[in-house]
Structure 1
Amino acid sequence: MNNQQLIEAYLNRIGYKGPHNPSLELLHNITLAHVRSIPFENLDILLGKSINISLDAVIEKLINQKRGGYCFEQNGLLLYVLQILGFQVTPISARVRLDRPRDFTPPRTHVFLKVELSGTTWFTDVGVGGVSLTSAIQFIQDTEQITNHETRRIVSEGNRYFHQVLFPNGWVDVCEFTLEEMPEIDRELANWYTSNHPKSHFKDRLIVARAGDDGKRITLVNREFSERDKNGSANKSIINSPKELNYVLKEKFNLSFPIDTEFQSPGLQWD
């Protein structure tokens, strides 16, 4: 697949039909279309499969097979697409901080993208699950930024920056970063940890997420399915069987698996 074919296949996958010239509007539009169309998911890990983040493997999985993936797959694909489209883009390493206190140091196992446009720095991140960006955000501190879904901001503490999301109960850290670039070899190493290390949180829980219309988020964590509206209110339900799980994956996330597929996770204990 050459570059032109890749761009056509990718834009078709995310359902984007607008102009291709590198601009802030295009960056916003691709970010939104991507997270609405390609779900975040760690299902291959729970099927005992390794995660290959080479470009060919990611294209095959996320585009040809119409699957989803996690940050190294999602942002890895978007990195290459944005480069082909003419954007100046750099992969940045980060530590995911969702549900983690500031005195805990999580591994540096996340990558997001820094984009330079007309002298201004923007970030996009289509690979952080239920809080993936649906608009690019500007690298400017202590300023609330409205996106297609939640309000965001960037704050600093010493030499560390924190990308935060505003939930009904207040500001919550999404990730921590220092603007250090994350080259391919570092992404390979972090991907091995994330998909193989026994203490990786992707080994002990099922996680699937996709952005919906009108600010809606849909997420699946183990057996709990949640639909969250733009105000942060969530309707939750419990999945009661592997068959029901496969149905939800298909109907809500457009992820198809054989009917007898069983994902191995401590969080999936069936009666």
Structure 2
Amino acid sequence: MIQTVSPVQLAAYFDRIGYTGPHEASAETLHALHRLHPQAIPFENIDTLLGVTPRLDLESVFAKLVSARRGGYCYEHNLLFRAVLETIGFETTGLAARVLWADPDAMLPRTHMMLLVETPDETWLADVGFGSMTLTAPLVFDNGREQATPHETFRLDLIERGDFKLLVKLGETWKPVYRFDLEPQVPSDYAMANHYVSTLPDSIFVNHLIVARVIPGQRQTLFDRTVTRRGTAEEHRELTSAAELRGVLEDTFGITLPTDAKLASVLEHLAAQAASAAT
């Protein structure tokens, strides 16, 4: 069963992302929501660092990303986005991808969630939850066509066995992001993948702090202690204390941090690693 949000929740979501446009299932509405969502709601994996597997029921996701003004990772972002789109009247399908970002030759499990969205004239790929390379506009399904977004240029290539590959243009180089097919996913597929990435001992989400947010003309990321700002130029800054980490999470990324007592020790541990590396 595809979930929708209540009128009160829809209004709260629109307030959270700053959307004041029409409530109609058009390409213009899809583009506006897709641009605003990742600007307002950051990508973050604080829960998994605290040993918590994020809950994927809509009420929990809404409470965390909207009411508590937190962020989340792909399942949380795209489940919320899908429920909003369905409420407005879009037809959506949940998909899953094998991530190629770190290793373009890898055939990893399908652990990333994104969406297929239908409008009267087009079929779109929508994805508001891919961390440092989250789309800031939906992409029309058109093999090999270069498509500009408010940030980078992307393209979708049809490859072997009916799979598609998403690529992003960085400078003059096309870098693979992920590969996927059009097989619809059901909640149990995402539940299994969510458990896998949040509990596997060597999962990146269990071992590293990963936070990302876009603003007009710039991407901001935090990987453990390194803050990166990438726009016309790229800047890096190393954080050296738990207080700095907390300040960046709250001020740069706009996260209302959880009250979990473990968070202080996690931030202290990251800061201690910085001190150890400096000696």
Category of TM-score, reference length = shorter chain: over 0.9
For 1:267 and 1:254, the matched residues in 2 are separated by 20
- Which residue is equivalent to 2:27? 24
- Which residue is equivalent to 1:253? 253
Q: 1:227 aligns with which of 229, 233, 245?
A: 229
User: Does 2:240 align with 1:237?
Assistant: no
AA in 2 matched with 1:68: G
- Which residue is equivalent to 2:118? 116
AA in 1 matched with 2:185: M
SS of alignment partner, residue 235 of structure 1:
strand
Q: 1:110-149 CA distances to partner (integer Å, 9 max, x unpaired)?
A: 1101011124210110010011111111011111001111
For 2:128 and 2:109, the matched residues in 1 are separated by 19
Q: 1:33 aligns with which of 14, 33, 36?
A: 36
Q: Specify whether residues 2 and 148 from structure 1 end up closer, same or farther in structure 2 by C-alpha distance, changes over 3 A only.
A: closer
For 1:33 and 1:116, the matched residues in 2 are separated by 19
Q: 1:73 aligns with which of 65, 76, 84?
A: 76
- Which residue is equivalent to 1:50? 53
Identity %: 37
Q: Specify whether residues 256 and 116 from structure 1 end up closer, same or farther in structure 2 by C-alpha distance, changes over 3 A only.
A: closer
Q: 2:165 aligns with which of 162, 166, 183?
A: 162
Q: Is the 8 A contact 2:246 2:267 kept in 1?
A: no
TM-score normalized with structure 2 length: 0.91
| Shift of residue 156, structure 1, vs aligned partner | 2.4
AA in 2 matched with 1:175: Y
Structural RMSD (CA): 1.8
Q: Specify whether residues 240 and 69 from structure 1 end up closer, same or farther in structure 2 by C-alpha distance, changes over 3 A only.
A: same
- Which residue is equivalent to 1:97? 100
User: Does 2:177 align with 1:174?
Assistant: yes
| Shift of residue 2, structure 1, vs aligned partner | 6.1
| Shift of residue 179, structure 1, vs aligned partner | 1.0
TM-score normalized with structure 1 length: 0.94
Q: Is the 8 A contact 2:220 2:229 kept in 1?
A: yes
For 1:78 and 1:106, the matched residues in 2 are separated by 25
For 1:266 and 1:174, the matched residues in 2 are separated by 30
Q: Is the 8 A contact 1:226 1:235 kept in 2?
A: yes
Q: Is the 8 A contact 2:26 2:120 kept in 1?
A: no
- Which residue is equivalent to 2:186? 183
SS of alignment partner, residue 157 of structure 2:
strand
For 1:32 and 1:197, the matched residues in 2 are separated by 32
